[in-house]
Amino acid sequence: MDEPGSPRAIPDGRRHSLLHNLLPESLPLPPSFLETSPAVREILQRDIGECSSDDEESGSTHDHSSTQEGGEVKLAFHPNGVAYGCGYSMVPMQGFDLPVPNPHEIEESVAAELELLRDNDIVPHSSRTRQESVVEHLRNAFSGGSHDHLPTTRTETSPLLGSDDDGTEIPSTPPPQVVHELWEEAVLAGKLRTSWQREAKTLVSYSAPLIATFLLHYSVTIGSVLTVGRLGMLELAAVNLATMTASITCYVPVQGLSTCLDTLCSQAYGSGHKHLVGLQAQRMTWLLWLLMIPIAVLWWFSEPILASLVPDADTARLAAMYLRILILGMPGVAAFESGKRFVQSQGLFRATTYTLLIGAPLSFLQNWLFAFKFGWNFAGAALAMAVTQNLLPLLLAGYVWLVDGSQCWNGFSRRAFGNWGPMIKLALPGMIMIEAQFSVLEILTIAAGQFGTAKLAAQSVLVTVTSASFNIPFPLAIAASTRIANLIGAGLSDGARVTAKVAVISAGIVGLTNLTLLSTLRFHIAGVFTDDDQVISIAARVMLVCALMQIFDALAAVSHGILRGVGQQVIGGYANLFAYYFVALPVGLTTAFTLGWQLAGLWTGLTAGLAMVCVLELVYLYYSDWEAAVIQAERRMRSEDVNQELKPARS
C-alpha cells in the first residue's frame, strides 16, 4: 500500500496508452488545475483585508465548514458548475480556474458515494420503501434541493442492517463521515467497480435537468425568430444578421468575462466569506455595464457597417434598427450573467430554472403582443427581446430575495468599484478563447449574406435549429465532465474510463437521433419558422448537411467535456481553434464560393471542422494515460490541503 500523501505508483500493465514512447508520460495539467491561481488569491486576499474591519464591527462570522467538508469528499474533488444558457452550436471553453465545492455538491457527492458502496455490497441497501423514496423526492424537489438527507449521527431509530469486516454494524444509511471512511477503505482495497448501466443512468440523471434548463433559455431566442419569420423573408434575414452581430460584439464577450465568477464566487463562498460572493458579482456587473457603453455606440451607428458587409441595403437597415432597440436590454444581459454565477456558487442551481420557467413563456407572450397585437411588427419583436433580457435578472433577484440566496448579499458597496485589475486579468483568457471560437459563426453569417436575402433568411433558420439541437449533447458533456472528474479524483480510473465510453456512445446516439429528425422533418421544421416557399426550400435542402453535422457536433461536445474532466480543457481549446480556422473556414469558403455550393458549402465547412475536432480530441483521449490523471488529481488534492491549512493565517 502506498504511503499516505505519496503519489500513487502505476502498476505494470495498467498504462492504457499504445504510444507511450511518443506521448508524454502523464497528462500535463495547467497550473490552475493543481492549485488556485495567483490572480484568484490576490483578489480574495485584498477583499478579505478591506472588509475585515467591517466584519468585526458587524460581528459577522465566517463558516468554514463547507470548505472543510469539501476536503473530505473525495468524489467531489472537481466540482464543475456551469452557468446555464450557453445555447450555441459551438464548443465553448470553460474557465481556466476551478470552483470549490458548495454544500449542494457535497451532499450529492455523499449520496453518490453511498450508492456506489451499496452497489458493491459494502453498505447494505436502504430499507426505505419505494413510496417513502417518492415522497422524499417530491419534498426535495419543492424545497429547492436534491438532498439525500443523510442522518448526521446514529440514533436509536437508525437502521442497522449490515456489518463491517470487524463485526461493527453498519446502518443502511450511515452518516456522511462513515460513508467517507468506508469509501476510502474500499478505494484503497480496490473493491469499487462500476458498470456501463450505472454510468448511463448517472449521466442521464445529471444531464436531464440541464437539457430542460438550456432549452428553456434558448427558447427566448427561438420565440423571437419564430415571430420575425412570420413577418417576412427580409425580416428573417435581418434578425439573423443582427443577432449574430449582437452575439459576437456583446453577448459572447459578456459570457466569457463573467466565467471568472465561477471561480471567484465559489472560492469566496467556500472560504466562508459569503458577503464577498455578492461583492464579486457586483464588481463584474459594473465592469460589464461600463464596457457596454462603447458597444451601444457601435450598435447605434451600425447601419453603414452592416451595409458594407451585406449587399442588400434594406436588410442592413432593419438589422441596425433591431440592434438599436436591443441596446435597452444590455443592462439585463450583464446582470443575468453575473446573477447566474451568484446563485450557482451557493449551490442554488434550480434558481435559474425557476426564473426561466416564468421568463420564457412571458417572452413568447410579449412577442405576440408587441409584434402582432400592437402592430409594432419587426420593432416589436426587438422590443420583446429587450424587455425579456431585463426581466430575467429581476426574476432571479426576486428568487434570491423571497426564496434563498440573500445570505450572500450585503447590499451595494463602493468596494465594487475597486480591485478590478486582477479580476480583468483573470477574465480575459476565457473571453478571448470564447470570442475566437464564436467569430467563426459571424464570418459564416456575413458570407451567407453575399448570396442574397433568401439565403440569409434560410441561414437564420439553420442557425436556430442547430443551436437548439446542441442543447442536448452539451448538457451531456457537462454531466460526463463532472462524473469523470469526480471518479478520477477518487482514484477510480477504470470507472472514469467506463463513463467516457458510455458518454461517447451516448453522444453518437444523440447525434444519430438529431440526424434522423432533421433529415426526415426538414421541410416541416423550416415551415415552422417562415411561410416563404423559397426560404423553406433553401433551408430544407441545406438542412441535410446540418443533419450530418449533428453526429460530429455531439461527439465534439462530449469529447471536449471528457477533456475537461481530466483537466485537459486547454487541449480541447486549441483543437477547436485549429479545426475552425484551418479547416472549417477554408473548406467552407472554398466550397461556397469556388465550387458554387453557396449556403450548403458554408455548412459543409463547419461540418468538416467539427469532424476534425472529433478526430483530434478522441484520438488524444484514446492514447492518454488515465492513471497519470489520477496521480495529478492526488497532487492537486494535497495542494488544496496545504492551502486549507494556510487559509486561517491568510484571513
Name the residue with cell 440573500: 406
CA distance 280 to 220: 27
- Count CA atoms within 13 Å of residue 485 on its CB side: 30
Q: Which of 233, 289, 269 is nearest to 70 (CA)?
A: 269
Sign for the CA dihedral angle at 54, 56, 60, 65 comes to: positive
Band (pLDDT 50/70/90 cuts) for residue 82 is very low
Q: What is the pLDDT of residue 496?
A: 85
Beta strands in 136-252 (DSSP E): 160-163, 169-171
Q: Which of 293, 264, 258, 296 is nearest to 278 (CA)?
A: 264
CA distances to 448, 469, 517, 529 from 465, rounded to whole Å, are: 16, 6, 11, 10
CA distances to 385, 393, 416, 561 from 354, rounded to whole Å, are: 19, 12, 28, 26
Confidence check: pLDDT of 84 > 60 = no
Q: Which of 533, 562, 552 is nearest to 614 (CA)?
A: 552
Confidence check: pLDDT of 352 > 70 = yes
Amino acid identity, residue 516?
T
Mean pLDDT within 485-509: 86
Mean pLDDT within 42-71: 50
Mean pLDDT within 16-27: 35
**Cβ-based burial of 140 (10 A; exposed 0-12, middle 13-18, buried ≥19):** middle
Mean pLDDT within 57-80: 40
Instruction: Tell me the three cell numbers of residue 630.
Output: 489520477
H or E element that contains 245: helix 233-246
Band (pLDDT 50/70/90 cuts) for residue 329 is very high
In Å, how far from its chain's centre is CA 252?
A: 13
Q: Which of 420, 465, 485, 400 is nearest to 105 (CA)?
A: 485
Amino acid identity, residue 27?
L
Rounded-to-10 torsion of CA 442, 294, 239, 377: 180
- Kindly report the backbone phi and psi dihedral angles of residue 148, in degrees, each rounded to the nearest multiple of 5, phi listed first: -90, -5
CA distance 49 to 12: 50
Confidence check: pLDDT of 81 > 50 = no
Is 157 or 613 the better-scoring residue by pLDDT? 613
Band (pLDDT 50/70/90 cuts) for residue 495 is confident
- Which range (268-282, 287-301, 548-562) has the least confidence? 268-282
CB 480 within 8 A of CB 505: no
Bridge partners of 163?
169
Query: How many CB atoms lie under 10 A from the CB of residue 594?
Result: 9
Q: What is the pLDDT of residue 9?
A: 39
Q: What is the pLDDT of residue 236?
A: 94
Q: Which of 440, 315, 465 is nearest to 378 (CA)?
A: 315
Confidence check: pLDDT of 632 > 50 = yes
Alpha helices (runs of H) in 374-419, residue ranges in sequence order: 377-402
**Cβ-based burial of 513 (10 A; exposed 0-12, middle 13-18, buried ≥19):** middle
Q: What is the pLDDT of residue 132?
A: 44
Instruction: Tell me the three cell numbers of residue 631.
Output: 496521480
Confidence check: pLDDT of 2 > 50 = no
Mean pLDDT (the chain, rounded): 77
Q: Which of 365, 44, 334 is nearest to 226 (CA)?
A: 365
- Which range (156-170, 223-237, 302-316) has the least confidence? 156-170
Task: Give 117-144 pLDDT, tens digit per residue.
Answer: 777 777 777 654 344 444 454 445 444 4
Confidence check: pLDDT of 201 > 70 = yes
Band (pLDDT 50/70/90 cuts) for residue 585 is very high
Is 4 or 231 the better-scoring residue by pLDDT? 231
Q: What percent of the chain has pLDDT over 70?
A: 72
Q: What is the pLDDT of residue 593?
A: 94
Q: Quick one: DSSP state of residue 162?
A: E
Mean pLDDT within 630-643: 58
Q: Quick one: DSSP state of residue 304?
A: H
Mean pLDDT within 458-486: 89
CB 456 within 8 A of CB 449: yes
In 3-state terms, what secondary structure has residue 479? helix
Q: At what angle do helices 377-402 and 313-326 cross, to 10 degrees?
A: 30
Band (pLDDT 50/70/90 cuts) for residue 25 is very low
CB 173 within 8 A of CB 150: yes
CB 469 within 8 A of CB 88: no
85 dihedral zone (left: phi>0; alpha: psi -120 to 50; beta): left
Q: What is the pLDDT of residue 270?
A: 72
Q: Which of 170, 184, 217 is nearest to 392 (CA)?
A: 217
CB 587 within 8 A of CB 605: yes
In 3-state terms, what secondary structure has residue 151? coil
Name the residue with cell 495547467: 30
Band (pLDDT 50/70/90 cuts) for residue 413 is confident
Q: Quick one: DSSP state of residue 407?
A: G
Confidence check: pLDDT of 99 > 60 = no
Sign for the CA dihedral angle at 107, 111, 116, 121 comes to: positive
Task: Give 515-532 pLDDT, tens digit per residue.
Answer: 999 999 999 999 999 999
Bridge partners of 171?
160
Instruction: Tell me the three cell numbers of residue 507.
Output: 453522444
Q: What is the pLDDT of residue 147?
A: 40
Task: Give 547-584 pLDDT, tens digit per residue.
Answer: 999 999 999 999 988 887 777 777 877 888 888 899 99
377 dihedral zone (left: phi>0; alpha: psi -120 to 50; beta): left
As a whole number of angstroms, the longest Cα–Cα distance in the chain is 83
Task: Give 419-470 pLDDT, tens digit per residue.
Answer: 788 788 877 776 776 777 678 877 888 888 899 999 999 999 999 999 999 9
Band (pLDDT 50/70/90 cuts) for residue 170 is low
Mean pLDDT within 398-411: 92
Sign for the CA dihedral angle at 404, 409, 410, 411 comes to: negative
Band (pLDDT 50/70/90 cuts) for residue 149 is very low
Provide the b/e sequence for 338-361 (b: ≥16 CB within 10 Å). Answer: bbbbbbbbbbbbbbbbbbbeebbe
Q: How many residues does the chain have?
A: 651
Q: Which of 193, 235, 123 is nearest to 460 (CA)?
A: 235
Q: What is the pLDDT of residue 302?
A: 95
Q: What is the pLDDT of residue 543?
A: 96
CA distances to 91, 119, 457, 546, 621 from 561, rounded to whole Å, are: 9, 26, 32, 22, 11
CB 104 within 8 A of CB 146: yes
Confidence check: pLDDT of 97 > 80 = no
Confidence check: pLDDT of 28 > 70 = no
Task: Give 353-393 pLDDT, tens digit per residue.
Answer: 899 999 999 999 999 999 999 999 999 999 999 999 999 99
Amino acid identity, residue 273?
H
Q: Rounded to 5 degrees, what angle do the CA atoms 106, 111, 116 make?
A: 125
Confidence check: pLDDT of 642 > 90 = no
